[in-house]
């Protein structure tokens, strides 16, 4: 077997860069996955060009998405989810309807094609499961009511990705065929039936029980469940992500939950790093620079719109103000499954290559800036609760320290120039 030393050297540098960026983001109390995206930007075609072929890591990146949904399924507390399923499902439907409706309204103003408006509408409706969970863990809100509400909505969004992908694919044929409708109905009905069975009784998987206890075979057992279910789902012409999620739900409500989860997490961490690294590789800095106004305008519109829409949806569902605010701001970014929706739209010829770059650029920037947006909105919310009167007082309380530091730096720069 011949080893290609340049490729091994490049892989080692990529791993070290991802680790370094992840550590820096963690020290700044930001999700490590933001660092992985930045590493991809620095090392990719738009940066040092150390990784000139993003397709080389695309397969591993897809495995990362499957493992993410598999672990989410394992960690899903079905009883808690079913208790709040109405809020999760209705909020998700409002988000999808609002995002698609807004995209269609802005279609003529922005000069978008109908296909781009639909792809953007679906993409904007989906939030990032990985980023939001990490942010909630960092703030200590994951196990609180707001965290459970947000996780329920994220799961409902993830499940909605399957029918959205089927809908975009059917638009190529200028109409939805009965088979597509049957797939959506079957997937939803099967999921509901599985939830009902698992809530009634915790299952035991005899073979998995023995394998999960092995230090060597435990990770392979987790991979076999995840990728085996994904492959079976793909053979049924459904989304592989759907199958991986179902496998996680089954494992999560079995007696082998803890053992499999412990075995799967290290593998998931590596594959998830590759996935977000590949997102950074897709980012075209030259495209963003040439279309800076359009990208930033769309990013601001999406972030503010999603925040307002999320808060309004939760308030409409009679959630208290603090929960609605924190949950709405946490869900304000565009999620990782938006890349899959963009790829489906591109394959169905609904959007062009240039429009795909626009979707990717806005999504990546939304993911990177999401922790900062949450921090800023939390500070403004705290300032409002402590009695700040007017916008100026709120800004002064929320960002006064940063403003004073910036003022001192400007004064020092002026004095040095003088």
Q: Do residues 340 and 62 lie in contact, with contact meaning Cβ atoms separated by under 8 Å? A: no
pLDDT of res. 226: 84
Please give the C-alpha separations between residue 291 and each of 286, 288, 354, in angstroms, as whole numbers. 9, 5, 11
Q: Do residues 67 and 267 lie in contact, with contact meaning Cβ atoms separated by under 8 Å? A: yes
pLDDT of res. 395: 62
Coil, strand, or helix at residue 203? strand
Q: Look-up: residue for tokens 């809020």?
A: 87
Please give the C-alpha separations between residue 82 and each of 86, 126, 160, 198, 241, in angstroms, as whole numbers. 8, 21, 16, 11, 21
pLDDT of res. 306: 92
CA distance linking residue 377 with residue 330, whole number of Å: 10
Interhelix angle 257-282/217-235, nearest 10 degrees: 60
For the beta carbon of residue 104, count every other beta carbon within 10 angstroms: 15
Q: DSSP characters for 356-390?
A: HHHHHHHHHHHHHHHHHHHHHHHHHHHHHHTT--H
State both tokens at 174: 């200028």
How confident is the prediction along the chain (418 residues), in pLDDT tens digits per residue?
Answer: 455 556 667 667 777 888 888 888 778 767 777 788 888 888 877 777 776 665 666 666 677 778 777 877 887 777 777 777 888 889 999 999 999 999 998 888 888 888 888 899 999 999 888 778 777 777 777 778 888 888 889 888 877 887 787 778 777 655 556 666 777 777 778 877 887 888 777 777 766 666 666 667 777 778 888 888 888 887 887 778 778 888 888 888 877 777 777 777 777 777 778 777 877 777 778 888 888 888 888 888 888 999 999 999 999 998 888 888 888 888 888 887 887 788 888 888 888 888 888 888 888 888 878 877 777 777 766 766 666 555 566 566 666 676 677 667 777 767 766 6
pLDDT of res. 171: 72
pLDDT of res. 143: 76
pTM, entire model: 0.78
Q: How many residues would you count in the chain?
A: 418
pLDDT of res. 176: 56
Coil, strand, or helix at residue 254? strand
Q: Do residues 15 and 22 lie in contact, with contact meaning Cβ atoms separated by under 8 Å? A: no
Q: Look-up: residue for tokens 């770059």?
A: 357
Please give the C-alpha separations between residue 21 and each of 28, 323, 363, in angstroms, as whole numbers. 11, 32, 19
CA distance linking residue 21 with residue 340, whole number of Å: 25
Condensed to tens digits (0 to 9), the pLDDT of residues 202-219 reads 777 766 666 666 667 777
Strand partners, 254: 203
pLDDT of res. 260: 78
Percentages helix, strand, coil for the chain, rounded to the nearest 5? 80, 0, 20
For the beta carbon of residue 386, count every other beta carbon within 10 angstroms: 10
CA distance linking residue 152 with residue 254, whole number of Å: 20
Q: Do residues 132 and 330 lie in contact, with contact meaning Cβ atoms separated by under 8 Å? A: yes
Q: Do residues 377 and 307 lie in contact, with contact meaning Cβ atoms separated by under 8 Å? A: yes
For the beta carbon of residue 209, count every other beta carbon within 10 angstroms: 15
Q: Which residues contact 112 (CB under 8 A, 6 or more apart)?
A: 103, 106, 120
Q: Look-up: residue for tokens 């399924």?
A: 73
pLDDT of res. 1: 45
Q: Do residues 133 and 374 lie in contact, with contact meaning Cβ atoms separated by under 8 Å? A: no
Within the chain, how many helices (H) and strands (E) appear? Answer: 19, 0
pLDDT of res. 190: 80
Q: How far is CA 319 from its chain centroid?
A: 23
Please name which of 167, 169, 98, 88 lies closest in space to residue 129, comparing C-alpha atoms: 88
Q: Do residues 241 and 2 lie in contact, with contact meaning Cβ atoms separated by under 8 Å? A: no
DSSP H helices in 236-335: 240-252, 257-282, 285-290, 292-316, 321-330
Condensed to tens digits (0 to 9), the pLDDT of residues 93-127 reads 999 999 999 999 888 888 888 888 889 999 999 98
CA distance linking residue 398 with residue 352, whole number of Å: 42
């Amino acid at each position: 077997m011949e080893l290609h030393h340049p490729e091994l050297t490049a892989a080692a540098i990529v791993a070290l860069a991802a680790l370094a960026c992840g550590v820096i983001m963690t020290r700044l109390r930001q999700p490590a996955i933001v660092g992985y995206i930045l590493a991809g930007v620095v090392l990719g075609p738009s940066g040092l060009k150390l990784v000139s072929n993003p397709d080389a890591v695309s397969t591993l990146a897809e495995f990362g998405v499957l493992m993410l949904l598999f672990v989410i399924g394992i960690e899903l507390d079905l009883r808690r989810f079913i208790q709040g399923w109405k809020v999760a499902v209705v909020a998700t439907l409002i988000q999808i309807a609002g995002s698609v409706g807004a995209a269609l309204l802005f279609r003529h103003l922005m000069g978008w094609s109908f296909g781009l408006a639909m792809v953007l509408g679906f993409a904007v409706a989906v939030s990032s499961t990985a980023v939001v969970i990490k942010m909630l863990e960092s703030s200590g809100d994951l196990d609180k009511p707001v965290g459970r509400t947000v996780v329920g909505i994220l799961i409902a969004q993830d499940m909605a990705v399957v029918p959205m992908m089927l809908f975009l694919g059917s638009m190529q044929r200028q109409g939805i065929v009965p088979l597509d409708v049957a797939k959506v109905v079957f997937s939803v009905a099967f999921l509901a039936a599985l939830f009902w069975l698992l809530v009634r009784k915790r299952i035991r998987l005899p073979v998995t029980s023995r394998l999960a206890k092995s230090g060597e075979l435990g990770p392979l057992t987790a991979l076999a469940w995840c990728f085996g279910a994904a492959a079976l789902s793909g053979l049924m012409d459904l989304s592989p992500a759907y199958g991986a999620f179902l496998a996680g739900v089954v494992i999560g409500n079995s007696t082998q939950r803890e053992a499999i989860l412990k075995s799967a997490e290290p593998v998931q961490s590596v594959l998830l790093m590759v996935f977000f690294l590949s997102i950074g590789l897709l980012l075209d800095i030259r495209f963003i620079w040439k279309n800076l106004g359009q990208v930033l305008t769309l990013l601001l519109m999406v972030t503010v719109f999603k925040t307002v829409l999320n808060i309004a949806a939760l308030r409409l569902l009679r959630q208290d103000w603090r929960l609605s605010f924190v949950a709405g701001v946490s869900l304000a970014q565009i999620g990782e499954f938006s890349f899959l929706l963009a790829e489906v739209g591109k394959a169905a010829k609904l959007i062009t290559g240039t429009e795909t770059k626009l979707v990717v650029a806005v999504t990546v920037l939304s993911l990177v800036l999401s922790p900062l947006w949450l921090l800023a909105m939390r500070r403004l919310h705290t300032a409002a609760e402590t009695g700040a009167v007017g916008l100026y007082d709120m800004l002064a309380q929320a960002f006064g320290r940063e403003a004073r530091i910036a003022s001192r730096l400007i004064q020092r720069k002026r004095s040095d120039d003088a």
